[in-house]
Structure 1
Amino acid sequence: MTDELEQQDGPQRLDRKVLEALVCPVTRGVLSYDATAQELISKAAGLAFPIRNGIPVMLVDEARRIEE
């Protein structure tokens, strides 16, 4: 018997509990979730942290700088 993974169209959704538990590693502030870009945004730090394969990568070296 084999398990088949369901494929989803479009970006993956991040679990709300995970989002509520995560904070910016720089400011310890709130993050917002951009489902389209698959990123967690820290407006205070000006950084966007990527989500890869459904896993948030909370490393400053991996973050993208954002401008406001």
Structure 2
Amino acid sequence: MVQRKVTYRLYPTQAQLAELEHQRWAHCLLWNEALAEHRSARKRRRRPRARRVRHHWCALDGADRAVTGAA
């Protein structure tokens, strides 16, 4: 499959350029507000993590060794 790149050029009038800039500004504002809301929601939901208990096999005492048959 051949992929081709197509580039469109805009030549807006001054009024259209002002409207495009306003839309870009509004989009940036909306994006930043949504990102801030997402971050604050994650911060509110975050719970302290439960501590993971690691089992160390070298910590077996003599009674456990007798059960497992280890020397």
Q: TM-score range by the shorter chain?
A: under 0.3
Higher RCO, Cα 8 Å, sep 6+: 1
Structure holding more strand per residue: 1
The structure with the larger Rg is 2
TM-score, normalised via structure 2 length? 0.19
TM-score, normalised via structure 1 length? 0.19
